[in-house]
Chains A and B, each alone.
Chain A
Amino acid sequence: MEEREGGFRKETVERLLRLHFRDGRTRVNGDALLLMAELLKVFVREAAARAARQAQAEDLEKVDIEHVEKVLPQLLLDFV
């Protein structure tokens, strides 16, 4: 696996998910946590990349919030 700078920590992912569980008994196993960390990483990178592409399509070097807004609907539809 390639070494990348960023990535979500296992404990962070666990707490993030546990925050929203409806049942107190629900747990997440180790592998699932690692996979979710990957999924979240992909999500963020995809959002960033699409926003960047949008900005570049508008001949801009700086990615601003409007670019995120423009790509958000399709991102959410594509993702989950």
Chain B
Amino acid sequence: MAAARPRLSAGREISGGRAMEAAGGEQRELLIQRLRAAVHYTTGCLCQDVAEDKGVLFSKQTVAAISEITFRQCENFARDLEMFARHAKRSTITSEDVKLLARRSNSLLKYITQKSDELASSNMEQKEKKKKKSSAAKGRKTEENETPVTESEDSNMA
């Protein structure tokens, strides 16, 4: 697909400011295309999982449709999350905002809360590890074998 052209009347002279906007617009279009493709790829993988689980086949159009719907939903999600954070007088969106987003479905909320708790406890573990390491580095004898805590920085979390 050709890069989108900024919508300006043909033949009009573009002022300096407009030219900047136009360039920004093209950049944004490219970003949108790339993101659409990324969403489509992941949607395909997930549909493949479900297909195997249920013993069905998904048509290409189906995968494309689900991908597009997901992409569009992100706009709602983003706006809501931003509003939730702003309402709490923050400029950084946190897990609390995501939980609020998931409030409509009980099972979804439960699932997200669970994941959030798992993340919180693995963050605690990471902090504990760092504390141990820094106090060990401060001259304490490291004779004892430090059993490595299971690293959660795995592909699943990425």
Which residues of A are at the interface with B, using a C-beta cutoff of 8 A?
Answer: 1, 3-10, 12, 15-23, 25-29, 31-32, 34-36, 38-45, 47-49, 51-53, 55-56, 61-65, 67-69, 72, 76, 78-80
Contacts and interface: CB of A to CB of B under 8 A. Distances in A.
Contacts of A8: 39, 42
B54 A52 contact: yes
A15 B56 contact: no
Contacts of A18: 78
Interface string B102-121: 10110010011001101110
A43 B73 contact: yes
B86 interface: yes
B57 A63 contact: yes
Closest 10 CB pairs of A and B: A6-B45, A20-B78, A6-B46, A48-B50, A17-B78, A35-B98, A28-B93, A27-B92, A44-B46, A20-B75
A69 B81 CA distance: 27
Q: Majority SS of interface residues in chain A?
A: helix
Given A27-B91, A28-B81, A51-B66, 9 more contacts: A4-B49, A8-B39, A9-B42, A9-B158, A17-B78, A44-B66, A64-B61, A65-B65, A79-B104
